[in-house]
Amino acid sequence: MSERPLRVVIVDDEAPARNRLRDLLADCAQAVPLDVVGEADHGRSALELLSSRAADVVLLDIRMPEMDGIETAQHLQKLEHPPAVIFTTAYDAYAIRAFEVHAVDYLLKPIRTARLREALSRVRSAKPLGPGVLRELQPRARAFLSAQERGKVHLIPIGDVVYLKAELKYVTARTAQREYLIEEPLAKLDHEYAERFVRVHRNCLVARDAVRGFERLEGEGNEGQWVVLLEGCDEKIEVSRRQQHIVREFAK
């Protein structure tokens, strides 16, 4: 069976590094039929590119501005047909150790043709990276949340999120503009962004920076219920009885 050529995307913030990869891929094309279908200079543009153009494999640099390679790989998993990922790095002690532990494929720069050929030939049989593995590789909190909408991946800068609220199946991420549905458990987000968000209710985290103040509801049935007032959002979020201590903490 003759397979169609491997569709490859190169992602690196340095132009010479992309040039070199293109040269090397041309050298590999004999042994592994391939097409370079696109290039991107950072994670965000890579996601944009891959939302509109399918690829089989992404060569992904780790240290990039805007969004690093490992975070990019996590968001890529939300694509309908996520491409295989081969990380490339010049030097990153932390990531390399993690790759070894989880048997994730990576290439050390300067990359050798033979090594690249080998990695490419393994791509089709490789099993996709699980979200758990990628999360473990990520030492810091992600800079973006991602939501899947009609096969596209929307990136939401975490700084824009006013609150995160768990609904039946999804978590709603509210920004000043609109709402997004996120397919991640609230507990995990709470853990990842413990510094940025504060839990006001069993099902809701609000951004500390967005807290404008607290208000006590008057009237029957409310019995002194506290609500949070938020910047850039008219909704009032209930503070549960158990979390009422945060009202005092903010007052300080």
Partner 1 sequence: MASIVNQNAYSSALPNFRNLGILLRILLIVNLAAFAAAAVKSVPLRGIWNELLEISALVEPLLILSLIALMALNGVLNRLPYYLGILAVIALELLLTALLYAAGRPLIAMDSPLGRYWLLVSIVTGMLLVYFDLRGRALSPALSEARLQALQARIRPHFLFNSINAVLSLIRQDPKRAEVALEDMSDLFRVLMADNRELTPLAREVELCRQYLDLEQLRLGERLKLDWHIDKMPHDALVPPLVLQPLLENAVYHGIEPRSEPGVISINIYAARGQVHAVLRNPYRHEGSHHAGNKMALGNIRERLQLHFDAEATLVTKVADDTYQVHIVMPYMKGREP
For position 41 contacting partner 1 by CB under 8 A, the verdict is yes
Of 85-93, 126-134, 179-187, 240-248, which segment contacts partner 1 by CB under 8 A? Answer: 85-93
Q: Which residues contact 101 (CB under 8 A, 6 or more apart)?
A: none
Name the nearest CA neighbour of 134 among 102, 175, 169, 93: 102
* Nearer to partner 1 among residue 19 and residue 121 (C-beta): 19
- Least CB distance from residue 68 to partner 1, whole Å? 10
Q: Which member of 81, 140, 169, 252 binds partner 1 (CB under 8 A)?
A: 140
Q: Which member of 42, 154, 165, 199 binds partner 1 (CB under 8 A)?
A: 42
38, 49 contact by CB (below 8 A): yes
- Least CB distance from residue 25 to partner 1, whole Å? 13
For position 190 contacting partner 1 by CB under 8 A, the verdict is no
Q: Which member of 31, 53, 54, 91 binds partner 1 (CB under 8 A)?
A: 91
* Nearer to partner 1 among residue 65 and residue 130 (C-beta): 65
For position 14 contacting partner 1 by CB under 8 A, the verdict is yes
For position 16 contacting partner 1 by CB under 8 A, the verdict is yes
For position 184 contacting partner 1 by CB under 8 A, the verdict is no
How far, CA to CA in Å, does 18 sit from each of 13, 39, 170, 205? 8, 8, 38, 41
How far, CA to CA in Å, does 198 sit from each of 97, 100, 206, 243? 32, 35, 5, 10
Which residues are bridge partners to 148 per DSSP?
153
SS3 content of the chain, % helix, strand, coil (to 5): 35, 30, 35
* Nearer to partner 1 among residue 91 and residue 250 (C-beta): 91
d(CA 72, CA 61): 10
10, 39 contact by CB (below 8 A): yes
Which residues are bridge partners to 206 per DSSP?
163, 198
Omega before 185 cis (within 30°)?
Answer: no
For position 222 contacting partner 1 by CB under 8 A, the verdict is no
160, 176 contact by CB (below 8 A): yes
For position 23 contacting partner 1 by CB under 8 A, the verdict is yes
For position 101 contacting partner 1 by CB under 8 A, the verdict is no
* Nearer to partner 1 among residue 37 and residue 141 (C-beta): 141
For position 192 contacting partner 1 by CB under 8 A, the verdict is no
For position 20 contacting partner 1 by CB under 8 A, the verdict is yes
- Interface residue list for partner 1 (CB under 8 A): 13-17, 19-20, 23, 41-42, 63, 65-66, 90-92, 108-111, 140
